[in-house]
Amino acid sequence: MFSQIMLSSEWGVDFSSEMLALARAKPPQVRLVQADLLGCWPAELGRFDCIVLAYVLHEFDLTEKISLLRRLADHHLAEHGRIVIGDIAFPTVQAREQAHQRWVDQWDEDEHYWAADEAIAACERAGLDAAYTQVSSCGGAFVIEPSIRKNPRSSAFIRVHPRPIKLIPAGKTVL
């Protein structure tokens, strides 16, 4: 069944040649490209219906996260496409601070863990619709799509009519 719902074009991007070498031993149908997430991506990548970012964006502050998400939406997301993020995240800034106090010995001060309330507000200011669900005590998932898109024929932006974003509760599967 899984093979029936696989995407027709799967790509992997990493800045590390060592990680790409390890990844090449995995599913052979995945095309792998070396590129910096924050830099320019090769033109060969084109546009995608879905971009998945798993446990990587906590390395960047909120401004960098939003800038990257906007760039991905503008340059690499197909019309009606979505960005899906799974990462270390908390529902609110207050919950993140409480977790920091509780896990102070394990907390990495150099990382920028998500707070959904501030991230969703920042996404809205950047023309991105976002939905969030908490999936564990310190993990969450975002689904993001543009609420405004760059008009391909000009430098203007156009507002798109948002589709409802539904998140699947933890432990549920949809095929």
pLDDT confidence of residue 41: 76
CA dist., res. 37 & res. 25, Å (int): 22
With 80 as the cut, is the pLDDT of residue 158 above it?
Answer: no
Q: What angle do CA 79, 146, 66 make, to 5 degrees?
A: 130
pLDDT confidence of residue 46: 81
With 80 as the cut, is the pLDDT of residue 45 above it?
Answer: no
Instruction: Return all residues near 69 (Cβ < 8 A) that are at least 6 apart.
Output: 83, 123, 126, 128, 144
What's the whole-number mean pLDDT along residues 80-93?
96
Six token digits for residue 106: 């394990």
Q: In the chain, what are the helix, strand and coil shares in percent, each to the nearest 5?
A: 30, 30, 40
pLDDT confidence of residue 169: 45
pLDDT confidence of residue 9: 66
* The one-letter amino acid at 109: E
pLDDT confidence of residue 10: 73
Residue 25's pLDDT band (boundaries 50, 70, 90)? confident
pLDDT confidence of residue 136: 95
pLDDT confidence of residue 173: 39
With 60 as the cut, is the pLDDT of residue 166 above it?
Answer: no
pLDDT confidence of residue 42: 75
- Report the range of poorest mean pLDDT among 44-58, 124-138, 152-166: 152-166
Q: From 61, 117, 112, select the one nearest 94 (Cα to Cα).
A: 117
pTM of the complete model: 0.77
- Number of residues assigned to the chain: 175
For the segment(s) 46-175, the CATH number from 3.40.50.150, 3.40.50.970, 3.40.50.1820, 3.40.50.620 is 3.40.50.150
CA dist., res. 118 & res. 124, Å (int): 10
Residue 174's pLDDT band (boundaries 50, 70, 90)? very low
Say which residue, 79 or 27, is predicted with more confidence: 79
CA dist., res. 59 & res. 38, Å (int): 11
Instruction: Return all residues near 52 (Cβ < 8 A) that are at least 6 apart.
Output: 83, 84, 85, 86
Looking up tokens 């800045």 gives 15
- Kindly list the domain boundaries of the chain, sorted by start residue: 6-36, 46-175
Q: From 146, 137, 67, 129, select the one nearest 106 (Cα to Cα).
A: 137
